[in-house]
Amino acid sequence: DGQWLAYGYAATAKTTAIRLYQVPDPKQTGLPPREGTTHTITEPILRDVGPAFDPDGKYLYFLSYREFNPVYDNLHFELGFPWGMRPYLITLQADLPNPFIPLPGIDDEAEEEDADGAGSDEHEDDHEDGDDVDDALAGDGGNGDENDGPADEEEAFRTVGTVARTLPDTVEQASHQFATYAVPHVEGRGDGGHDPNGAAQGATAGTSSDEAEAGGAHDAAEKRDNMEKSEEAKGLQIDLEGIAQRILPFPVPDGRYGQIAGISGKAIFTMLPVEGALDDDLAPENEAEEAGTLRCYTFADFKTETLADNVNWFQLSRDRKKLLYAWRRRLRVLTAGEKPQADSGPSRRTGWIDLFRVKVSVEPQREWEQMFREAWRLQRDHFWSEDMSEVDWHRVYERYYPLIQRVSTRSEFSDLMWEMQGELGTSHAYEYGGDYRIPPHFSQGFLGTTFTWDHDAGGYRIGPLIEGDPWDRNSTSPLTAPGVDIKAGDVLWAINGQRLDETTPPAQLLINQAGQDVLLTLLPRPTDQSDNGQNGAAGAASTAATETTDVVPFLPKSVQERAAPDEQETAPAKKIRLRSVMVRTIDSEEKAYYRAWVNRNRRQVHEATGGRVGYVHIPDMGASGYAEFHRSYLAEVDRDALIVDVRYNGGGHVSQLILEKLARRRLGYDFSRWGGLDPYPADSVAGPIVALTNEHAGSDGDIFCHSFKMMKLGLVIGKRTWGGVVGISPRHALVDGTVTTQPEFSFWFADVGWSIENYGAEPDIDVDIRPQDYRAGADPQLARAIAEVMAQLVAQPTVMPDLATRPSRALPKLPPRVKYDVG
């Protein structure tokens, strides 16, 4: 009715409560709307969010984080709360019963009443006229849609009775609740001019049945209109006393929920799956995006059903009759509370909107002006310091805005935005995305190796193969796959039947071949030629994917020139046996090179320390970096010491979780006869830790390095870090899809204050890698870390339990018995 607003209020940093704001009616109170009354109506355990009113005025729905159902982790000793939520409701009137408990008590009377009037027209008319008691039993308080309740009273009572029999301990309580709810309506029914059998009392004995029927219908309609007007005049009634004690959970499992809203007699909500943070990266491109499900709880049936899958977000129309939901970049309109058809094509019948029909005319200059103003305002409103770090932000606007008139391309506008935001002198002020012309896309295929043109051989000689994880085809060379039998030094002669030459490298023939099967043709190895075409052991090891063909090769021009003139004319062409093998390319070699680099560093550490020191690299402080840390840490933590490498760390937000684990100090061991030693705390480091960093580690990588020093976890070796610790939360897209970031979360350390921003974290030992070191494949930073950690192991050896001195629980030896002479 516009007199109440419900919203979430952050009571503390960790808790959010639901509040009601009562807007005063100036006609009644004389107060302006801003002087209304605020009421806190929930006592949150953590966060109560997303309040929504029931249109019938009975309930307030909301989502709450108050379900603590821990789950054991499957990889290490840890408990988590992956669900934690459930939808709840609050009864707005104190006399409303629990809507999730069936209401027995008058089932038999109602069935007898139905049987007595089964043959009367008046009884049928009573249904058609929308009797108040029937509406109340259907759960809509007399104001709902006739389709919200069960098909008939008999079915409703049958459902109630069936459910009640499964809940014998609640029957007595439910009966009491039903009575307090229904008695006023029963009394009102008699006063309204109807007897229990449905006959119209207002009709005289001499009145015909048709006239009585018409009069009864008119009276019922008039009564209904009067009730609606009365309700509108009275407004939404909320009993605030004891309202926090009237919170009820929906009978649905705890989980992750996105939204909740109400229509007459139903509640609609989205339930989200528990997904891995890397699922999007691991899923194939053609796999459907995992999204939430749109579900509906019907109070009359006490049932929950799924309306639609793959729902990211939904919105009800103002009259709550239609529902719009989004999935990926598609929109669909449904009848609220009804399950749609399965057809996915755009039409009025399916509700899918054909967005390709939308045509928009754009004036780039005016659009860029609006985008510039909005980006400027976003910085003004969200920058972490209200004084904009003493930058005259209005002067910046005045200086840069006129330059838009000179911008002629979208990339020039992007450059202008970077320059404008750069005036803040703060990290993480980015601009990306936007409405650029889509360039041609060429999906480059890769084979996980290098190629060098061999003039004498007439082909491309294959370099060392990248050896990463053999079980992950995206992080290793496809040439290492079983049955391929390609080695470094082999010569590639053709791809997909197209001949390679000095001007046609392999990369050219692998354009638009990412993730595709390609046919590689190779020249024979010298050992193959000496076998007169018999491959011997190599041939026996090959698979059906490998084929051999006798061909007359195209001889390089240099070979032809070296031949004598008479030999060029008379020498017979020599046939050689080519090998062909089918290989599936990868779309990037980045993961493969990264895995090979980490494996090489770990191997170097193990070899240099005799296996006493472990090695862990953390590429970033996001989900992938957290996963990479645990992949290495859980396997390396049982060694005597540890090197933690955060060079090239791209930042994120999980540094505190990693530091928490590294800070565990081994206090002792659990020992069992068959299981051996188990450290306590679990996954704790036994000895010293050394961290490696460089100038390419930043953001949360900066924070990690300085915190590592503050916590005295060990030495930091390398170069000073990037120096950008003002965090962001990108969420405001501009009109063409551009995203600008506002530095919102500055970082303050207890020892150095704000000074890490624009400076970085200093290492304890400064070690650089010179260009000649890179070229030679040397890593002086890693070598220094190995030397330092080994020196610490010598100075402070790892303490292990002495199993030879186990406690004895044998009975103590008693002194020899002394014989006394009693004579």
Which residues are bridge partners to 458 per DSSP? none
Q: Which amino acid is at 584?
A: R
Spatial CB neighbours of 58, under 8 Å, sequence gap ≥ 6: 91, 92, 93, 96, 99, 141
The answer to whether residue 757 is catalytic is yes
Burial (CB < 10 A; 0-12, 13-18, 19+), residue 525, is: middle
Own/partner contacts of 569-576, CB < 8 Å, gap of 24 or more, are 575/550, 575/551, 576/523, 576/524, 576/529, 576/550, 576/551
Strand partners, 491: 461
- Cβ-based burial of 597 (10 A; exposed 0-12, middle 13-18, buried ≥19): middle
Whether omega for the bond prior to residue 82 falls within 30 degrees of 0, making it cis, is: no
DSSP character at residue 403: G
CA angle 194, 197, 198 (to 5 degrees): 40
Exposure class string for 213-225: b at 16+ Cβ within 10 A, else e: beebeebbeebbe
CB 491, CB 459: distance < 8 Å = yes
Under 8 Å between Cβ of 522 and 495: no
- Strand ranges for 107-233 from DSSP E: none
Which of 194, 428, 617, 630 is labelled catalytic?
A: 428
End-to-end CA distance of the chain: 112
Give me the phi and psi of 235, to 5 degrees please.
80, 180
CA distance 110 to 97: 20
699 catalytic per annotation: yes
- Spatial separation of the C-alpha atoms in residues 278 and 172, rounded to whole Å: 51
Contacts of 344 (CB under 8 A, 6+ apart): 350, 352
Using an 8 Å Cβ cutoff, are 102 and 167 in contact?
Answer: yes
CA distance 301 to 9: 34
**Which residue in the list 264, 414, 699, 707 is annotated as catalytic?**
699
Distance CA 107, CA 174 (A): 13
Number of neighbouring beta carbons within 10 Å of residue 210: 9
Per the listing, tokens 């012309």 go with: 437
Question: Alpha-carbon distance 101 to 248, whole Å?
Answer: 11
How many other CB atoms sit within 10 Å of the CB of residue 788? Answer: 19
What is the rounded (10 degree) CA torsion for 185, 190, 193, 198? 90
CA 705 to each of CA 613, 629, 689: distance values in angstroms, whole numbers, following the listed order: 20, 15, 13
Residue from 680, 694, 630, 693 nearest 657 by CA: 630
At residue 564's C-alpha, the angle toward residues 558 and 565, to 5°, is 105
Tokens (6 digits) for 10: 């952050």
Rounded Cα distance, 616 and 624, in Å: 14
Strands (E), 528-587: 546-551, 576-584
Residues 44-59, buried b or exposed e (16+ Cβ, 10 A)?
Answer: bebbbbbbbbbbbbbb
Residue 58 near residue 144, CB atoms below 8 Å: no
- Choice among 213, 628, 757, 788 that is catalytic: 757
- Please list the active-site residues: 428, 699, 757
